[in-house]
Amino acid sequence: FSDSEKTIIVENGLQGGRDLLLHCESADDDLGVQLLHPNTSFRWKFQINVFGTTLFHCSFQWDSVLHKFVIYKTRRDHDTCSICNWIVKENGPCLILNGRTDCYNWNSLEER
What is the pLDDT, as a whole number, of residue 111? 44
Q: Please name the fold of domain 5-111.
A: Immunoglobulin-like (2.60.40)
pLDDT-derived band at 110, boundaries 50, 70, 90: very low
What is the C-alpha to C-alpha distance for residues 109 and 89, in angstroms, rounded to an integer? 13
pLDDT-derived band at 3, boundaries 50, 70, 90: low
Q: Give how far the C-alpha of residue 106 lies from the chain's centroid of Cα atoms, to the nearest Å.
A: 12
Q: What is the DSSP letter of 64?
A: T
Q: What is the mean pLDDT of residues 95-103?
A: 91
Range of weakest confidence among 70-74, 94-98, 102-106: 102-106
What is the pLDDT, as a whole number, of residue 108? 57
Contacts with 55 (C-beta within 8 Å, 6 or more apart), sequence order = 26, 27, 70, 72, 73, 74
Candidates 69, 73, 72; CA nearest to 59 is 69
Q: How crowded is residue 25: how many other Cβ atoms within 10 Å of its Cβ?
A: 14
Q: What is the mean pLDDT of residues 73-93?
A: 92
Q: What is the DSSP letter of 49?
A: P
Residues above pLDDT 70, as percent of the chain: 92
Q: pLDDT per residue over 43-66, tens digit each?
A: 999 999 988 899 999 999 999 999
pLDDT over threshold 60, residue 2: no
What does pLDDT average to over the chain?
Answer: 91
What is the pLDDT, as a whole number, of residue 112? 46
